[in-house]
Amino acid sequence: MAASEENSPTGAPQPQVEEEETKTFKDLGVTDVLCEACDQLGWTKPTKIQIEAIPLALQGRDIIGLAETGSGKTGAFALPILNALLETPQRLFALVLTPTRELAFQISEQFEALGSSIGVQSAVIVGGIDSMSQSLALAKKPHIVIATPGRLIDHLENTKGFNLRALKYLVMDEADRILNMDFETEVDKILKVIPRDRKTFLFSATMTKKVQKLQRAALKNPVKCAVSSKYQTVEKLQQYYLFIPSKFKDTYLVYILNELAGNSFMVFCSTCNNTQRTALLLRNLGFTAIPLHGQMSQTKRLGSLNKFKAKARSILLATDVASRGLDIPHVDVVVNFDIPTHSKDYIHRVGRTARAGRSGKSITFVTQYDVELFQRIEHLIGKKLPVFPTQDEEVMMLTERVAEAQRFARMELREHGEKKKRSREDAGDNDDTEGAIGVRNKVAGGKMKKRKGR
């Protein structure tokens, strides 16, 4: 296996490199039926983290995987688990803990796609969804449970007949974020009720003190597989910044969406309210924009994500709920409309584009209040970013239209707030803001035409 080859004293470095390039999933020790599933998913060759982690996992070692977002981590733990499940079929075989609901659904999709030919069943246990239907899913004893820590504890404490005493595998995906979201007590509780005699995989983009503490508590003699120890962004990502007065942020956003029309965008905002406001503003100007944030119901969130994935909408406005782990293959441009307060979040946000070898752009808005935060980001990634070229006179020509759309967006937000107060039952109906068309028709002219002669 890979580990012993690296350590062999006679092994010349040259063949090692060649072997890395031509490695297949079969070379890593993955069973034939799963290799076929990888082919069907279009996974032609394993990624770096998979080459490092899979052979060790198949040997039965505990693993700490440090890899940046978009590096194929899900495959690195899903394949060894399914491989082991084929050898010793058993219900409630593996538990995957994730920080967010969307990530849980995405991991479940990958497990089911990889395991479709062998009849693998998984259950997603997250907040925001009816507990009763989840209890029924758990009663069927699926092979794989993918859960957020809080909701899993609910079921462990309240769902009759459900326990994880026979568990063989525990995975903590995005462990740094699980702990950042203050799930520490939940994770401790879960560790107490699952067997000590199990395999544990801990995946994280960053090695924080909390993650090290968790590693000592949960893993036995683990092997570390680090694909990139330094914080970095993908090489094919072109990163820019724009220094603008804060009152003109909306106008510059509209300018950029027009300049780069034809691309798909993810626009990151810092709050749910700002995400919703900006989505309404853009819709009023005729853009196909859709929001994704924590105050939307789970069905609305998945609906937004699916519309964007299916390219029915070209602009997804999101809070950091979407900055980690979501694999939306076709994002061309990431706009940091509000600069992230934690520099590491910058790396996760811009990691939504330029995935799997494609190129992409990111543009970060820096206002007079954000200079220090921006300098921290540059320091973290170890490079100075260039300015995104803009024609300021052209931007200023948009101010009137944008101001009008802002006014309508504020009115719609207010109406939406009042409606929510009036009837809690209909609260979900407007989350997507697709319904708020009444006011939009009053904004003259729809989407702006590009000026001729450009």
Radius of gyration of the chain (CA): 24
More confidently predicted of 324 and 58 = 58
Lowest mean pLDDT across 132-141, 298-307, 327-336: 327-336
Give the pLDDT confidence score for residue 365 in this predicted structure. Answer: 96
Query: Would you say 399 and 248 are in contact if contact means Cβ atoms under 8 Å apart?
Result: yes
Q: Which alpha helices (H) appear in 196-247, and where do they start and end?
A: 209-218
pLDDT tens-place string over residues 39-69: 888 888 898 889 999 999 999 999 999 876 6
Confidence at 183, pLDDT banded by 50, 70, 90? confident
Give the pLDDT confidence score for residue 100 in this predicted structure. Answer: 87
Cβ of 387: how many Cβ atoms within 10 Å?
11
Mean pLDDT score of the chain:
83
CA distances from 117 to 30, 80, 108, 327, 394 (A): 15, 16, 15, 23, 56
Confidence at 184, pLDDT banded by 50, 70, 90? confident
Work out whether strand 63-66 and strand 223-226 pair parallel, antiparallel, or are unpaired: parallel
Give the pLDDT confidence score for residue 235 in this predicted structure. Answer: 66
pLDDT tens-place string over residues 85-127: 999 999 999 999 998 888 899 899 889 989 988 899 999 999 8
Give the pLDDT confidence score for residue 413 in this predicted structure. Answer: 87
pTM summary value: 0.60
pLDDT tens-place string over residues 234-274: 667 899 999 999 999 999 999 999 999 989 999 999 988 99
- 18 pLDDT exceeds 50? no
Query: Would you say 289 and 315 are in contact if contact means Cβ atoms under 8 Å apart?
Result: yes
Domains of the chain: 2-226 (3.40.50.300), 237-442 (3.40.50.300)
Give the position of tokens 């981590």: 73
Give the pLDDT confidence score for residue 69 in this predicted structure. Answer: 63
- 326 pLDDT exceeds 80? no
- 395 pLDDT exceeds 60? yes
Confidence at 171, pLDDT banded by 50, 70, 90? very high
User: Kindly report the CA angle at 381 between 368 and 52, in degrees rounded to 5?
Assistant: 150
Give the pLDDT confidence score for residue 435 in this predicted structure. Answer: 41
Share of the chain above pLDDT 70, in %: 82
Average pLDDT over residues 200-212: 85
